[in-house]
Amino acid sequence: MAISVFDLFKVGIGPSSSHTVGPMRAAATFAQALVDQGSVTDVRRVEIRLYGSLSATGVGHATDRACVMGLMGEWPDRIDPSTIDSRIHTLRETGELLLAGQVSIAFNWSRDLLLLDESLPYHPNAMSLTAFGETGELFEQTYYSVGGGFIIEAAEAESGLSPARDVVLPYDFSSAVELLKLCNQHGLRVSELMMANERAWRSDEEIRQGLLHIWSVMRECVEQGLEHEGILPGGLNVPRRAAKLHRSLLEIGKPNVITSTLSAMEWVNLFALAVNEENAAGGRMVTAPTNGAAGIIPAVLHYYMKFNPDASDDDVVAFFLGAAAVGILCKKNASISGAEVGCQGEVGSACAMAAAGLAEVLGATPEQLENAAEIGLEHNLGLTCDPVGGLVQVPCIERNAIAAVKAINATQMALRGDGKHFISLDRVIRTMRDTGADMHDKYKETSRGGLAVNWVEC
């Protein structure tokens, strides 16, 4: 499967790419299919069935709300997050859902949205939607939300084939070894190779403007996170910290990376906290490559842009392209889904991607970039996904801040070397895959193990 940088970085909403963005896309896809078939006016009821991790932590991740909004014809990159609460309230009050934004049907939350204590075979994040007419079933489809907002239909999963992408990439690669070989053969930096591949879908100007738009949404997310205060929703009473920390940092003056390393680190923490608090509140987000790990890449890019007076939009483009090369490898050869391999697949992959992006804009060779990504991922191996209360708050918010600093350190270490190192990125990605397969399911986004059950003092 050919994967674009815009597959890994997608505008959406919080709090989860796999549990919010993916299910909304699936439900919207289902609703659009009814329209395309010409059967939407025949629908009288729609039933949503959530399985596995979508069922176990779906309410905390707003999966139920996302499915309903998707059925209304809303898409995660277009919906106004501020309207969701009022529309859900109206739906619950009236019992009527405007299917695909066109046809009013009855919707009973407890009858038509089922959280099932069972799993489907292909992936832990599974959901089925069925439309019924006057005389019975009209249309049924099962979707898997496989991480980062990606969805696949049951037929694709059962066939073992990836969704068709009608493109041929000039520099296709499925391993870091292949990536480095292509870079060396053709005298290309990683970002240059990725740009050449992206041209299979878009023009240079479309690629550039698309990536700068992604960056603008990330910046806006940080700004929103710095403005909002109070308690995050969900019932854990977790306070927002970014706004207060921001005021504190402004009081000590403009930091400098060389003379005030600790101050710079606090700014990195701030950027990550701001993004992930906004994510936890259901705000506008960019999957990077998931929502649970969405603060790491923008925090590291903000760090570079803030402290480098010569930083430019060209660096933003190169950063995203360098990061995406590593994200493609993680997705192709392991997983970016916490429900599949634990948090190592989310925060670990994002840390590796951020390290790669930073290495690229700091002038790393392809070998040094691969080394930076390897360090970032290696030291997140075994990381469990055990969100307290099924909410993307504890330990997720702080974990992004820690991983952002770790990504910067990984890059610094790699740039001090020549790219030669003991364990390859390919081996670390393979280890992440194998570790995820060995990991007990209770540590993979079910909130049935780890911190999720040990946070209450006895």
Task: Report the alpha-carbon distance of residue 194 to residue 322 in Å, rounded.
Answer: 7
Task: Report the alpha-carbon distance of residue 422 to residue 289 in Å, rounded.
Answer: 27
Confidence (pLDDT) at 418: 94
Question: 113-115 and 45-51 as β-strands: parallel, antiparallel, unpaired?
Answer: parallel
* Rg, C-alpha atoms of the chain: 22
H helices, E strands: number in the chain: 20, 9
Nearest-CA neighbor of 356 among 369, 347, 365?
Answer: 369
Residue 130 backbone phi and psi in degrees, to 5: -130, 130
CATH 3.30.1330.90 maps onto the chain at 15-159
Nearest-CA neighbor of 6 among 289, 285, 282?
Answer: 289
Homologous superfamily of domain range 15-159: D-3-phosphoglycerate dehydrogenase; domain 3 (3.30.1330.90)
Tens digits of per-residue pLDDT, 94-122? 999 999 999 999 999 999 999 999 999 99
Question: Residue 78 is encoded by which pair of tokens?
Answer: 């277009």
Contact present, 278 and 221 (Cβ < 8 Å): yes
Question: Residue 198 is encoded by which pair of tokens?
Answer: 């992206």
Tens digits of per-residue pLDDT, 413-449? 999 999 999 999 999 999 999 999 999 999 999 999 9
Tens digits of per-residue pLDDT, 144-154? 999 999 999 99
Entry pTM: 0.93
